[in-house]
Structure 1
């Protein structure tokens, strides 16, 4: 900052005029041409003109007003004028005026820069143009204006001279008078809807009822009893709610619960209406079709928390609706839009107001997802009666679009489908098979399936009930069809851990790319020896995957390439995008794996899927032991492909993959085909 470059005469004015303002090219209260200071006209020139030698107004003994103008600019920006030499008011008084005037604009602060300083011919007065900018919303549109600050040079008889500012609140904002306040009126933007496949609305405004205590409709002596009665109906903490009611203002409506305005209600609305002072207000808020619809992934919307308001740097205000979790939170800036703003003055004599700045409402942008509403609801209804944490994920192999991400009620709100980390058990044998194929085997290659196999002192065996007639020397296809553990572990010398990790990566496990939503896509160590490597061959040990990751693995087999999952369609995340797999999956390799998975249905443990309507089904079951109990507890898995559909089913605590996850997969596939 400093004096501007230029030599033009700024006009004539009076050094004694108060601060003025220019907004969008219009001068408001600026020194007028021809005004006088006393009876003597004063000519004004920019300091840069003086520097060029046109006139000499600031002598070596008299400093320029630059430092004072800069101090004023800094003080206005910081709302602290304690270090600014002022005429007619103390720095503390001016600071108090500014603090009161801008309280309604919190947390905004302006940037203030000295644009130009014009000094009078006699060098005893000057005007500083201050460019003021307020960044009031996330858009590129700022509130900008210019104020003019009158400065005078004062040289006391008993001290050094100095430049000082003739104070006026108009230095802060256009035409602001003493006692006036700056206020902001926000017009909320309509929140963007969340769309599913084909543009079908998922989260959109839906009718609700807000139940609360209206303190204007119940005597103060009865408010506590009404609060506790409503809390009991709503199923919330009576003590806490009664405390909120007591702390609220005398005319407050204190909300207890919001319920969908679709019978049957989650609470007894009629009973609530009968409580003295309880109000039931109709409203609309963004909601999914049902309470549980992809809730752990889509997230929720509610009143912005103090942390959200603070982090938004003014984009979100107290009382605004904001995404509190899931995609609603991740894409909140896109969905919430931009509120309309009107900045005005209040407190003027006579009670009038003046609008100083206005922006129009910008509605939120819809968020396009790939979720298929029917399949998502089918997946959720399939899991509705499952007690342990569970999940069903469906992916379209040709595009990678995630069609369903259902987490069962046993997960208590956690996104088991996308974030769960579990050993995938024998479903991982699809990746093991790929590593064996790359080592030279075919579906008809012989492989030994003994009852047990040892690895560095540990004995591995097949699952309970493994058919005896599938033991001995069998083919790779039969080993996969009946899920022979000992065959896979016995082949561990053929496939090193690095090759196993590469094969898993070719099927989409362990992808580290940002996929546009919180997801765990698996972890397969590249180094393992002894029993650790042996366990990896059957999807245990340190191998972890989510139900989403296993659906992606199945989808890669069906697509003939490594699939990258897409749930949110944005510029960075579009269906059909390729992955950064270190070793890409070839079409021939995928065809071989598809043959092995089809064999699980036609001649192996998943024969119950043979008559599912539609295209032929390929599958793989999995059971992963966990815990320290004897016998160990089991995670139950199944994956399947059918045409352009890949599905993963998981139950955290079950029997075998075929007996626990299998019926759920069967029900989902038959429902999807209906």
Structure 2
């Protein structure tokens, strides 16, 4: 080997040697220590980390105290570029926390110090949160926005915050009084179970306020503050809650609001916490997220020993905010309910013992003005979810099918006392006038509701034609703009023999709700199919599937389920053949005849525009004589109404007076 080659190799060796020395300045060890620290913090376990100035287990305990309020969330932590100066290394620790729906990011500066051949982490609380001092921790609080209102027609507040008082025993104010005795007295005063309340008071801690009942704070409140406070420990604490004008106002439609239960909180996957107010039933539940808005979150740094009392007493907040997600208020839910008509409908039903309903619509717009379910419905939304045989109100559908088969209101039909189909005997309602038997016009048969006359034309009107006529009138058709769960009617397209004969008088497998009956009347008044509207600004993610015919199975535990056991068919998407103005005019003519010459003459003196109506009585159950549903529908100017009583005798005599009372008062 030549000298020049030896020199070259020696130079290469020198260069390589120098490079190796340069790489062995401790950077790799420092980088490993930095990575280990980042991993340990991310896992919320500092015990594997060697510290300069703090024992690992002590540092670990401090970390867990600092971050305890954020449990069970853990941060993502990464070590940034390392700067090495002799035996000291500095690098950024980049934190990222997933807090609710947001990301909290921050960076702190970390320092390593070399001790022998090991790199130790220099302890500082600032490793965890920027500028954190010894003895400080994080706190997390939720800021719940005020729940949005539910509005009615012309944006009148239906549900809004109204004053209440939370009545209960404040145990620190008992003095030497017997808690059980005080609890018993208060329970009797406000009308709750004394034994259960005594147990609640006994089971609660010595500093607790034990709520007994929440009362509306009105001038007519039956229990006064003086009566409450005369009981040892008794207190009435003023508050506000989202409430309708009265306890019963549209309750089945609107739903209620209250604190989330432990079960609801558990099922919410962290969306709900103790004390959160949520909707139960009706629109309050369906549109809960829209009404509730989004809670805000505030993360603060504070002294570990800071008490709530000290925070409240301080002239300025002794905590400092390090991260905040602003609360987003809920959006008011706009509905078409007319508060005066809704209250009138409820007042009209107040003395009716069976399940009952009044539904009022505006034919020109489809707006649902009232959907009242009576006290006998026991909280169930009979008005919108009930599934019942509509009885002779369905003759409106029959008549449309007959008009399309060549009949006119003046066509003659045969009204006989009875008619037998495949061995089953059909008859007219009790007390049917003999002078209206025989060969009569379709108008007269409709006005007096001759069952046999309509059944007699069953061979000229198929079941499929009945189904088509029903959809023409908005019955059994989806309601994409309703915005609430409802049963919209069911008219099967196939039925033979006695089943088809029964359908001709609104029985058998034909089902309607008071809402769908009102839609039918509204479609006649408008001269076109009416699609009902209740919610004007639904959140698309929460809007009900249009016209969910299975909705009748969703009654609350306390509710009275519909009497029908017939399986309802799903509604059609649209009307097969919309009713025409000419067809509707003929139907309106026959509905007017029910008032002028039929058995709804009691409506003749209702002030204002002429009233057109149709009564209905539908037998149900196995009793002899059978129980009956009582129906009446009416059109009065730009108002369509259906009145229903589940066990009500005849439609004319039971539901008719309720309808008249409603129409006269409605003006």
TM-score band by shorter chain is: 0.7 to 0.9
Classify the secondary structure of the residue corresponding to 1:591: helix
1:593 aligns with 2:554: no
Q: In the alignment, is the contact (CA less than 8 A) between 1:68 and 1:164 conserved in 2? A: no
| Paired residues for 1:136-155 under 5 Å | 136=100, 142-147=103-108
Task: Report the counterpart of residue 34 of structure 1 in structure 2.
Answer: none
> Residues 587, 349 of structure 1: CA spacing in aligned structure 2 closer, same or farther, 3 A cutoff?
same
**1:528 aligns with one of 477, 492, 495:** 495
> Residues 129, 80 of structure 1: CA spacing in aligned structure 2 closer, same or farther, 3 A cutoff?
closer
**2:597 aligns with one of 581, 595, 603:** 603
Task: Report the counterpart of residue 461 of structure 1 in structure 2.
Answer: 427
> Residues 291, 121 of structure 1: CA spacing in aligned structure 2 closer, same or farther, 3 A cutoff?
same
| Paired residues for 1:573-584 under 5 Å | 580-584=574-578
Classify the secondary structure of the residue corresponding to 1:433: helix
> Residues 532, 225 of structure 1: CA spacing in aligned structure 2 closer, same or farther, 3 A cutoff?
same
1:411 aligns with 2:368: no
Task: Report the counterpart of residue 546 of structure 1 in structure 2.
Answer: 513
Classify the secondary structure of the residue corresponding to 1:533: helix
Q: Distance in 2 between matches of 1:558 and 1:438?
A: 18
1:323 aligns with 2:279: yes
Q: Distance in 1 between matches of 2:489 and 2:80?
A: 61
In the TM superposition, what is the alpha-carbon distance from 1:267 to its structure 2 partner? 4.5
| Paired residues for 1:31-430 under 5 Å | 69=35, 72=38, 80-81=44-45, 86-88=49-51, 97-105=62-70, 109=73, 112=76, 114=78, 127=91, 129-136=93-100, 142-147=103-108, 170=126, 172-176=128-132, 180-219=136-175, 221-267=177-223, 270-347=226-303, 353-430=319-396
Task: Report the counterpart of residue 666 of structure 2 in structure 1.
Answer: 672
Task: Report the counterpart of residue 37 of structure 1 in structure 2.
Answer: none
**2:650 aligns with one of 653, 656, 661:** 656
Q: Distance in 2 between matches of 1:149 and 1:445?
A: 97
Q: Distance in 2 between matches of 1:532 and 1:67?
A: 84
> Residues 250, 348 of structure 1: CA spacing in aligned structure 2 closer, same or farther, 3 A cutoff?
closer
Q: In the alignment, is the contact (CA less than 8 A) between 2:175 and 2:232 conserved in 1? A: no
Q: Deviations over 1:304-350 (max 9, x none)?
A: 22234344454443113222332222222222234444311223599
Q: Distance in 1 between matches of 2:116 and 2:489?
A: 77
Q: Deviations over 1:459-503 (max 9, x none)?
A: 111111111222222222222111111222222222222222222
| Paired residues for 1:10-29 under 5 Å | none
> Residues 432, 116 of structure 1: CA spacing in aligned structure 2 closer, same or farther, 3 A cutoff?
farther
Q: Deviations over 1:342-371 (max 9, x none)?
A: 311223599963321234444332221111
Q: Distance in 1 between matches of 2:34 and 2:463?
A: 72
**1:556 aligns with one of 523, 528, 535:** 523
Q: Deviations over 1:540-574 (max 9, x none)?
A: 11222211121112112212222221111115799
Q: Deviations over 1:424-461 (max 9, x none)?
A: 11112212222222223222222222222222221111
Q: Distance in 2 between matches of 1:616 and 1:134?
A: 65
Q: Distance in 2 between matches of 1:641 and 1:150?
A: 83
> Residues 499, 64 of structure 1: CA spacing in aligned structure 2 closer, same or farther, 3 A cutoff?
farther
> Residues 199, 583 of structure 1: CA spacing in aligned structure 2 closer, same or farther, 3 A cutoff?
same
Classify the secondary structure of the residue corresponding to 2:178: helix
Classify the secondary structure of the residue corresponding to 2:278: strand
In the TM superposition, what is the alpha-carbon distance from 1:169 to its structure 2 partner? 6.0
> Residues 450, 187 of structure 1: CA spacing in aligned structure 2 closer, same or farther, 3 A cutoff?
same
Task: Report the counterpart of residue 620 of structure 2 in structure 1.
Answer: 626
Between 578-587 and 631-640, report the one with greater CA deviation: 578-587
Task: Report the counterpart of residue 26 of structure 1 in structure 2.
Answer: none
- More helix per residue: 1 or 2? 2
> Residues 114, 202 of structure 1: CA spacing in aligned structure 2 closer, same or farther, 3 A cutoff?
same
Q: Distance in 1 between matches of 2:591 and 2:434?
A: 21
Between 285-294 and 303-312, report the one with greater CA deviation: 303-312
Q: In the alignment, is the contact (CA less than 8 A) between 1:621 and 1:639 conserved in 2? A: yes
Q: Distance in 1 between matches of 2:121 and 2:434?
A: 99
Q: Distance in 2 between matches of 1:306 and 1:225?
A: 29
Q: Distance in 2 between matches of 1:119 and 1:530?
A: 93
Q: In the alignment, is the contact (CA less than 8 A) between 1:396 and 1:402 conserved in 2? A: yes
In the TM superposition, what is the alpha-carbon distance from 1:97 to its structure 2 partner? 4.9
Classify the secondary structure of the residue corresponding to 2:453: helix
In the TM superposition, what is the alpha-carbon distance from 1:114 to its structure 2 partner? 4.6
Q: In the alignment, is the contact (CA less than 8 A) between 2:41 and 2:77 conserved in 1? A: no
Q: Distance in 2 between matches of 1:486 and 1:639?
A: 21
Task: Report the counterpart of residue 41 of structure 1 in structure 2.
Answer: none
Give RMSD over aligned pairs: 3.7
Q: Distance in 2 between matches of 1:626 and 1:119?
A: 87
- TM-score in terms of structure 1 length: 0.80
Q: In the alignment, is the contact (CA less than 8 A) between 1:72 and 1:81 conserved in 2? A: no
1:444 aligns with 2:400: no
Q: Distance in 2 between matches of 1:651 and 1:91?
A: 76
Classify the secondary structure of the residue corresponding to 1:86: coil
In the TM superposition, what is the alpha-carbon distance from 1:102 to its structure 2 partner? 3.6
Between 480-489 and 511-520, report the one with greater CA deviation: 511-520
Between 615-624 and 219-228, report the one with greater CA deviation: 219-228
Q: Distance in 2 between matches of 1:347 and 1:559?
A: 70
Q: Distance in 2 between matches of 1:477 and 1:106?
A: 75
Q: In the alignment, is the contact (CA less than 8 A) between 2:151 and 2:157 conserved in 1? A: yes
Q: In the alignment, is the contact (CA less than 8 A) between 2:225 and 2:235 conserved in 1? A: no
1:480 aligns with 2:436: no
Aligned residues: 605
1:470 aligns with 2:436: yes
- TM-score in terms of structure 2 length: 0.81
Q: Distance in 2 between matches of 1:167 and 1:186?
A: 31
> Residues 438, 105 of structure 1: CA spacing in aligned structure 2 closer, same or farther, 3 A cutoff?
farther
Q: Distance in 1 between matches of 2:100 and 2:332?
A: 23
> Residues 595, 341 of structure 1: CA spacing in aligned structure 2 closer, same or farther, 3 A cutoff?
same
Q: Distance in 2 between matches of 1:306 and 1:436?
A: 58
